[in-house]
Amino acid sequence: MKAKLVEIRDLTIRYRPKDGPGFRKRSVFEAVRAVSFEIFKGETLALVGESGSGKTSVAMALLGFTEPAQGSIFYDAMDIRSLAGSQMQKYRRSVQPVFQDSANTLNPRMTVGAMMEDSLWPLHDRVSRRKRIAELFDAVGLDDRIYRRYSHQLSGGQKQRVALARALAPRPELLVLDEPFSAQDASIQINLIQLLRNIKTTFGCSYLLISHDLHLVKFLADRIAIMKSGEIVETGNCIDIFLRPVHPYTQLLLKRKATEFPEST
């Protein structure tokens, strides 16, 4: 059996709305409720659910951007809350995010090359940095000519590839892909799936793939966890989820035609 890379146990995340002018006082909102799952080394786990189901909150907690109210997150059998100093730095390098809107994650005032060099800061020698950038560009299918370009000079697909190359720069073990297919047309979605498959073969990293489209996720995921209203309602391997969905919500997500959906949930 493969070794566990990430283990999330009883994760609960609560948000307290800000007080002050313009914000009405409300009760605390529980976005994620007692969520548990694990990601094995080299595995792609897809977290699927509708908007607002808590998928991104789980990812944010895993990346250390959100403090969980309860539960623990283990990375390589170490509780991430106990990490400090160089261990925390190593963790941050090992778990890299690729956000939905890759265009907004690129610095508009820096060239692609400068951004890439920034993410390769542990390499002090410029020649090795350049060599590594060439390797990364090659892995994500980017032309060397974009090295001197700014983000506004790139197409949507190129921006996403730059974001991926930058995430791969510190040789991560886990990539957290937050809705990479959202707002993309089918042709770009296919290219991206092919690219993510190639990256996994080349770099051997694991993926936590967050998406709301079960039908796209099937081309990448080994296992699928279905989230609804902050809870995981069903987990299983990809084939089981498609052939034998148990939870009614999973069955609903598998429908394709508009008429098969209820008018409201």
When asked if residue 235 is in the footprint of another protein (CB under 8 A), the reply is no
Contact 47, 225 (CB under 8 A): yes
Half-sphere exposure of 232 (CA within 13 A, CB side): 21
Of positions 193, 229, 231, 240, contacts another protein by CB under 8 A: 193
Cα–Cα distances in Å, from 1 out to 4, 43, 58?
Answer: 9, 12, 25
Query: With binding defined as CB under 8 A, does residue 183 bind another protein?
Result: yes
Pattern 71-110, another protein, x by CB under 8 A: ----------------------------------------
CA 237 → CA 220, 232, 243, 247, distances in Å?
Answer: 12, 14, 10, 14
Quick check: 21 binds another protein (CB under 8 A)? Answer: no
Q: Which two tokens stand for residue 262?
A: 């209820």
Number of residues that bind another protein (CB under 8 A): 40
Q: Does 236 bind another protein (CB under 8 A)?
A: no
- In sequence order, the β-bridge partners of residue 197 are none
* Residue 27 binds another protein (CB under 8 A): no
50 binds another protein (CB under 8 A): yes
Query: Structure tokens of 134?
Result: 């060439």
* 186 lines the binding site for another protein (CB under 8 A): yes
Rule CB under 8 A: say whether 191 interacts with another protein. Answer: yes
Provide the token pair at 145. 């000519």
* Positions in the binding site for another protein (CB under 8 A): 22, 24, 49-52, 155-157, 182-191, 193-194, 212-216, 218-219, 252-253, 256-265
